[in-house]
Structure formats: C-alpha cells, structure tokens
Amino acid sequence: MRVSMTAACAVLAAALLTTPAFAEWPEKPIKITVPWKAGAGAVDQMTRQLQKTAADASIVDQPITIFNIGGPIPIGLRQAKDQEPDGHNFVVMHTAMMTLQAAGKIDFGYKDFEPVVRLGQFCQTTSVHKNTGIETLDGLLDKAAAEPNTLVHGANLGAINHVYGIMVEDLRDGAKFRFVQTGGDAGTFPEFKGGRVQVAGFSAAGATNFALGADGMPDPESPVRLLAYAGPVRHVNFPDVPTFKELGYDFQFCVDGWYFAPKGTPAEAVEGFAAMVQAALEDDGMQDFLAKKSMVGAFQAGEGLMKEMDRQWDAIAPVAARAATK
C-alpha cells in the first residue's frame, strides 16, 4: 500500500530537514544536468517529477533547476563531470553510461563521479512474434541454438537493448540472434508488427504499450508474445509473465536511473540529495508517475549503490564491448 503524502511523507520530509545533511544543504538552487533534450526518455521525465515533488512537498527550501544538453550524450556527461563540486551540481544518467564507456565512446565512467542515489528503474522483457510459434523462453533459446542467426532481433545496435539481447542469447550455448538496427521500443515495434523482426527486448513500458490493451489485459490482436521479464519479481502490469529466475536462469537486467555529482562534492550534499530522493519516493505523485511509466522505485545510496554499480559494470562491460563490434 502506498503511503499518503499528506501524512507520513510530510512527517518524513520534516524529519529529514532537521538532519545534519539538510541543516546545511542546499544553500542555493540545485542544478541537475540531463544530457539529452527535454522530454526525451524516462529519466528526464523522472527528474522533472522529482523537481515537482520536491517543490510541492517542500522537501527542500531551494528550487531544482533542470539543465538539458542536447546532442550526443557524452557531451552533456563530460560537462557535468567537469562542473564545480560545490554541492549543488548533479547529473542524471542510466545504464547507458556503462555501455558508452565499454564501447570506447567515452573515456570516463561512473567511477569518475560521486555516485549519489538511485531513484528508480525499469526492467527489460523478451518477446517473440506470435507467428513464430514459439511459446516459451526455452523454446526461443532452443531455436536460436539449433538455427543460429535465423531469428531476427530488433535493437539499437551498440545500445542497451542490444546488450540485453546478447546477454539473453548467452544464456544458451550456441544460441545466436541476427541483430538488426531498429532503434528503441518505438522504432522496433513497427518492424516487429510487420513481421520483419521476430524477437525484441522491449522495456516494461514498451511491453505494456504493445502487448496489452487499453483495459490492461493481454491484447489478442497484438503480435507480441511476452516470454520472460528480467526484473527481480514479476511485473504488476503482466503478472502472468515469469521472471528469468523463475525459469531457471540467474539473470536480471534493469535500467537504473542514477544521480551523480562531480568528484569532490561534499558528503553532506551527497547525503542530502539522497535523502531528498528518499523522501520524494514516499510521495503519491512520484509513485503515480513511476507506475504510469512502468517503472519501480528502487532507492539505493552509499556503499550499497557503489557495489551494485560495480556488479553491473562487471556484467555489462564485456558484453557492451562485443556489441560495439557486431
């Protein structure tokens, strides 16, 4: 059950404001750099919801200013990395930072920032076109192993959904998909619907939009057959779709929404920003936003956050390097 903003969240926000981190931070407006154009992608929208929630709930007494930098993501990331570590400069990014670094598209990474907090995440799904006759994940991997490079997998080559697809084929010795450039969810679905692509790694939001009807139930007219969900537990939007773990595979793939600060940012600012996010996650508006985007709140900060980033890097980096050459 969600906590009411008017009760528990207000109490939590007030309590946080009395902690040492909040007692001295923020002293001026908080600037969050988003390294792509306004409105593009879930983490930009997530940050705008954070901005709104922090203001509406009076979690902090300074405004949040969002600074979008268009163009290639590395441009905005580098600018954010080189900002003054004054405790009021932050940047939002997701798992693509790791794929970019592993592919050699940036010469820096998460260890060149101060990791601050994870707010939420969305996890991937594996789907097949219904006309393939494949009904299970094992059936998909069996066919990909028996007839390698015959099943066409749509992806944004070198990007997150491509890395995900490679990690899925790696679950079975000899399994190989033929990856083709289709882009993200929005670009892949038309090719999938037209039958030119048989396999896709849609995000939870994409799977919701493409496999379910307006009533939230599976759409019999949809070409999408959801085989597995790469989250830690089943997704509320499609509760009949098993996780990879339930199917016997020790595999999980979620795209995290992380906030970073420049190296050298004072600890009280890092802790204060993380506490602000924790309070915002108790807000009904934030929870409604996450549900609408098929995301989940996944607060993590401190040493645990760094360990999780290290784990993800160890898993993603070698695969992302392979994706860059395919």
Place of tokens 């598209």: 105
Please count the structural domains in the chain: 2
- The reply to whether 182 falls in a domain is yes
- The reply to whether 245 falls in a domain is no
166 and 193 fall within a common domain: yes
| Cβ-contact 293, 122 below 8 angstroms | yes
Give backbone dihedrals phi and psi of 137, rounded to 5 degrees, phi first: -65, -45
Least Cα distance to 222 among 244, 247, 242, 200 occurs for 200
Write the secondary structure of 125-173 as one string of H (helix), E (strand) and C (coil): EEEEEHHHCCCCHHHHHHHHHHCCCCCEEEECCCCHHHHHHHHHHCCCC
168 and 99 fall within a common domain: no
- The reply to whether 239 falls in a domain is no
115 and 133 fall within a common domain: no
- The length of the chain is 326
Place of tokens 């509406």: 56
What is residue 6's predicted lDDT score, i.e. its pLDDT?
37
- Structural domain boundaries enclosing 193: 125-229
H/E element holding 21? Answer: helix 20-24
3-state DSSP call for residue 278?
helix
Strand order in the sheet with 30-34: 64-68, 30-34, 89-93, 254-262, 113-123, 296-301
- The reply to whether 248 falls in a domain is no
- The reply to whether 97 falls in a domain is yes
9 and 152 fall within a common domain: no
3-state DSSP call for residue 54?
helix
| Cβ-contact 228, 280 below 8 angstroms | no
Q: How far is CA 230 from CA 38, 157, 176, in A?
A: 28, 20, 19
The one-letter amino acid at 84: E
First vs last Cα of the chain: how many Å apart?
45
What is residue 326's predicted lDDT score, i.e. its pLDDT?
67
| Cβ-contact 281, 289 below 8 angstroms | no
* CATH number, domain with residue 195: 3.40.190.10
201 and 289 fall within a common domain: no
Task: Dig out the tokens for 274 from the structure.
Answer: 């993380």
The overall pTM is greater than 0.85: yes
188 and 132 fall within a common domain: yes
113 and 140 fall within a common domain: no
- The reply to whether 214 falls in a domain is yes
**String of DSSP letters for 84-102:** --SSSEEEEE-THHHHHHH
Q: How far is CA 200 from CA 145, 182, 239, in A?
A: 17, 10, 19
Query: pLDDT tens digits for the chain (326 residues)?
Result: 233 333 444 444 445 445 544 458 999 999 999 999 887 788 899 999 999 999 999 999 999 999 999 888 999 999 999 999 999 999 999 999 999 999 999 999 999 999 999 999 999 999 999 999 999 999 999 999 999 999 999 999 999 999 999 999 999 999 999 999 999 999 999 999 999 999 999 999 999 999 999 999 999 999 999 999 999 999 999 999 999 999 999 999 999 999 999 999 999 999 999 999 999 999 999 999 999 999 999 999 999 999 999 999 999 999 999 998 86
